[in-house]
Amino acid sequence: MSKSSLALVCAVLLGWSALAGAADLSKPLILVAKPELHDQLYGSSILVVTPLGGDQHAGFIVNRPTGVTLGRLFPEHAAAQKVTDPVYLGGPYESQAIFALVQRPESLGARSFEVLPGLFAAFDAAVVDRIIETEPEHARFVAGLVAWQPGELRSEVEQGAWYVLEPDAALVMRKPEGLWEELVSRSQRMDKII
């Protein structure tokens, strides 16, 4: 094979591998912080993300338990006293708001949105209260959210801050112990294959 033919094949393969690794940010996804991301909030984090249109995104950190329970936050709410799991830090924006992430096949109603297929986020206090009272075992309660302005997430992905995974509601609802390490290891193995 001539040098020019070899150069052409290499260029095509490099172009193909870049395209193969490009993330489709127009769909819901899971972000896993790469080990090189040394940030107090986002380092070692797992996020669920949904597009909002206009290359804007919103999502939640799902593996940062706070050590505070709903019962402690809402001492007068009898049903909240029964929820033993901690509230998770969902993100830095609206951190005083409690969201309920619920794994279920259908919507929670008008005051919620689908983050990933089969994972809905309730943001209305009455809907969150109903979830606390009726199905807390299917929910993760988070304080705050993460938001990206147009192009911000695309830039972070292109700079190599995140592994981008397909959406999986059951995966992100697992207990967080060891989950980040598992997903990093899985992503690194996939990178070697590609």
- pLDDT one-digit tens code per residue, 69-82: 999 999 999 999 99
**Amino acid letter for position 43:** G
| pLDDT at residue number 22 | 63
Q: What is the 3-state secondary structure (H, E, C) of the chain?
A: CCHHHHHHHHHHHHHHHHHHHCCCCCCCEEEEECCCCCCCCCCCCEEEEEEEECCEEEEEECCCEEEEEHHHHCCCCHHHHCCCCEEEECCCEEEEEEEEEEECCCCCCCCEEEEECCEEEECCHHHHHHHHHHCHHHEEEEEEEEEECCCHHHHHHHCCCEEEECCCHHHHCCCCCCHHHHHHHHHHHHHHHC
Q: pLDDT digit string (tens) for 149-182?
A: 999 999 999 999 999 999 999 998 999 999 999 9
Global pTM value: 0.85
| pLDDT at residue number 194 | 59
pLDDT classification of 108: cutoffs 50, 70, 90: confident
Q: pLDDT digit string (tens) for 38-69?
A: 999 999 999 999 999 999 999 999 999 999 99
| pLDDT at residue number 4 | 35
CATH 3.40.1740.10 holds for 25-193: yes
**Amino acid letter for position 129:** D
pLDDT classification of 5: cutoffs 50, 70, 90: very low
Structural domain spans, the chain: 25-193
